[in-house]
């Protein structure tokens, strides 16, 4: 297994980090008694891990999952309630904090796979919507119950849901606040695969390994092209942006030369960590 070249950030209260395969990071949310809900401290930890992931050349893909019966129950509503006190600075209210929903609005460079082991509510579902691949346990379910609590799923899921599942299904999901099963999410195109609960992380690792054996530069460039197509309205402009940025960097790196030489020599490539 290729070791990481830089130490990970400290994650003392919410996250457990491990490395189940070469170039693969497994992130486990560990507020089990609170259904892995997200307080401000948890979100700062996640924010630091995403930045480290993108800068660490020996990691290509991450998996995020939850401990216990939940993937993530969303924002810590008790903390949010306390932040709404009349004398509180509005800028510090949970919905306005700079780290609010650090995955659901993450652009980033490297792909993230959601291994949804149980319920994903509110911000937990918003996390799932913005992940690159999603594996769900057959017992998992998803919901955006914010309308039932007087708030709104404003962490990035709404426009992304429209692009993934269409306006009518997104409207049904977000405006009613009803839960959907893993099978329904699979039919809608929100989930890649549904497996028994005990297999969800293993299946996510299998997908991650299939990604991580490829050129680290190509993974970043290809994901950027996909994301530009998702985030940018004009298709040709999305192509141009990727050509001008990530593909230009890819062509200056060592991995493109290694990949072509390995093909010619009929051997497995020996990739270098990405510097894109």
List active site positions.
75, 123, 126, 146
Three-state SS for 63? strand
Q: How many residues does the chain have?
A: 276
Residue written as token pair 């290694």: 258
Half-sphere exposure of 23 (CA within 13 A, CB side): 24
Write out the two tokens for 65. 């999952």
Other residues' Cβ atoms within 10 Å of the Cβ of residue 172: 14
Q: At what angle do helices 255-265 and 216-231 cross, to 10 degrees?
A: 120
The DSSP letter of residue 244 is I
Task: Count Cα atoms within 13 angstroms, Cβ side, for 209.
Answer: 11
Angle formed by the axes of helices 216-231 and 235-242, nearest 10°:
150
DSSP-assigned states of every residue in 150-177: T---TTTHHHHHHHHH-HHHHHHHHHH-
**Buried-state track 222-245, b at ≥16 Cβ within 10 A, e below 16:** bbbbebbbeeeeeeeebeebbeee
Rounded to an integer, what distance in angstroms lies between the CA atom of residue 224 and that of residue 127?
A: 18
Q: How far apart are CA 100 and CA 121, in angstroms?
A: 15
Distance, CA of 125 to CA of 262 (rounded, Å): 41
């Amino acid at each position: 297994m290729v070791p990481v070249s830089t130490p990970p950030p400290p994650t003392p209260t919410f996250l457990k980090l491990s490395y189940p395969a070469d170039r693969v990071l497994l992130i486990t949310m560990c507020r089990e008694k609170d259904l892995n809900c997200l307080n401000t401290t948890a979100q700062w930890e996640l924010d630091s891990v995403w930045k480290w992931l993108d800068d660490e050349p020996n990691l290509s893909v991450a998996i995020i999952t939850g401990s216990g019966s939940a993937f993530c129950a969303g924002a810590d509503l008790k903390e949010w309630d306390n932040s709404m006190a009349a004398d509180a600075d509005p800028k510090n209210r949970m919905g306005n904090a700079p780290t609010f929903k650090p995955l659901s609005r993450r652009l980033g460079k490297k792909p993230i796979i959601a291994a949804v082991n149980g319920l994903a509510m509110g911000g937990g579902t918003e996390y799932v919507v913005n992940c690159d691949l999603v594996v769900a346990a057959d017992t998992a379910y998803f919901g955006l119950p914010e309308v039932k609590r007087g708030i709104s799923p404003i962490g990035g899921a709404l426009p992304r849901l429209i692009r993934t599942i269409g306006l009518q299904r997104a409207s049904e999901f977000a405006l009613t606040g009803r839960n959907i099963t893993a099978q329904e999410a699979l039919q809608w195109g929100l989930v890649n695969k549904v497996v028994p609960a005990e297999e969800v992380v293993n299946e996510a690792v299998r997908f991650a390994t299939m990604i991580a054996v490829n050129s680290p530069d190509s993974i970043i460039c290809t994901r950027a092209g996909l994301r530009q197509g998702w985030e940018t309205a004009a298709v040709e402009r999305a192509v141009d942006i990727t050509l001008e940025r990530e593909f230009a960097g890819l062509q200056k790196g060592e991995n493109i030369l290694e990949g072509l030489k390995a093909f010619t020599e009929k051997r497995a490539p020996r990739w270098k960590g990405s510097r894109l």
